[in-house]
Amino acid sequence: MNKILLILFCFNLLHSASVSAQTVLSLAERLGYPAGTKLLIIHADDLAVAHAENQASILALQQGAVTSASVMVPCPWFPEMAAFAKANPQYDLGLHLTLSSEWLPYRWGPVASRSEVPSLVDANGYFYPDCEAFGAKAKAEEVERELRAQIERARAMGLEPTHFDSHMRCLFYQSPDFFEIYLKLGREYQVPVMVGGEFLKNASEAYRQLITEQDIVVDRTITATPKDFKGGMAQFYTHVFKNLQPGVTVLVMHTAFENEEMTGITEGFPGLWDAAWRQDDYDFFTGEACRKLLKEQGIQLITWRDIGKLLKP
């Protein structure tokens, strides 16, 4: 009798393990697609940094292949994007949470009072120009205070964000404490935050331990480098599309017009996400070649709003 009970116990244990394995769905499957589907978010960064960035990105959302974009609340042209978002809630707009100001001498500072976030600003009251300088000075409580101020200003002005991501990834590489704040805000506001599987794979255990069942991790994020720009943006994006793997991928790029405004802002940074690079991004993602490649490669476009539905009760 004991032997029979042992056999039944082992059978039930194996069966339970099998059922459990079958219920671990990929992100694509959770979104309602077959596991082998190539899902892609074409994501435009840096909206609000300039009028040229806003206008190109709006057209890319309306007429091109761009499915999502993120807006920088501290930047001068944020009111324009807030008004657009309020009038056009159907577009997928998130917040590019901003803690640095890299375009010298074109600068911006915090949304919160500078007296409330002194560790985030330089002697002139602007954000530091890079993540390293930010990380060396920033206090976690002030980081959270500033990010909340950005989120609440966006919502107050009519932009209800579909997701959060991190400008220059300052919330990723400086401290697990900052990354934890990033995740915490996503959970609180019930929106996904952009985190790629490749980041977690290469990050320290301190970062991986912060991820919970409340968080969504996309399979991968892809963005061009200065080396890719030298080789030609159309060539780079064509290669990305032709080699896209199944699962959920976020392709991050920047759309703007190469006009006097944008050239002035990025002057002194040739080949580093400058006006010419952003014009190339706009040209590709609003062009026929992009549409043709997406169709030929069987790529399904999705948005952050689609992913965010998984977080809603």
pLDDT tens figures, 25-51: 999 999 999 999 999 999 999 999 999
Return d(Cα 121, Cα 20) in angstroms, integer.
49
Contact 60, 31 (CB under 8 A): no
Q: What is the pLDDT of residues 171-218, one digit of tens each?
A: 998 899 999 999 999 999 999 999 999 999 999 999 999 999 999 999
Q: What's the token pair of residue 78? A: 């944020």
Alpha carbon 151 to chain centroid, angstroms: 15
Please tell me the pTM assigned to this model: 0.91
| Cis peptide leading into residue 74 (ω within 30°) | no
Say what the pLDDT of residue 4 is.
53
Residue corresponding to tokens 């943006």: 233
29's enclosing H/E stretch is: helix 27-30
Q: What is the pLDDT of residues 261-311, one digit of tens each?
A: 999 999 989 889 999 999 999 999 999 999 999 999 999 999 999 999 999
Amino acid in the structure at residue 93 = L
Question: 299 in the Ramachandran plot: left (φ > 0), alpha (ψ -120 to 50) or beta?
Answer: beta
Q: Which one is the CATH code of 27-311: 3.20.20.370, 3.30.1300.30, 3.40.50.150, 3.40.50.1220?
A: 3.20.20.370
**Rg of the Cα trace of the chain?**
21
Say what the pLDDT of residue 313 is.
72
Say what the pLDDT of residue 285 is.
98
Domain ranges in the chain?
A: 27-311
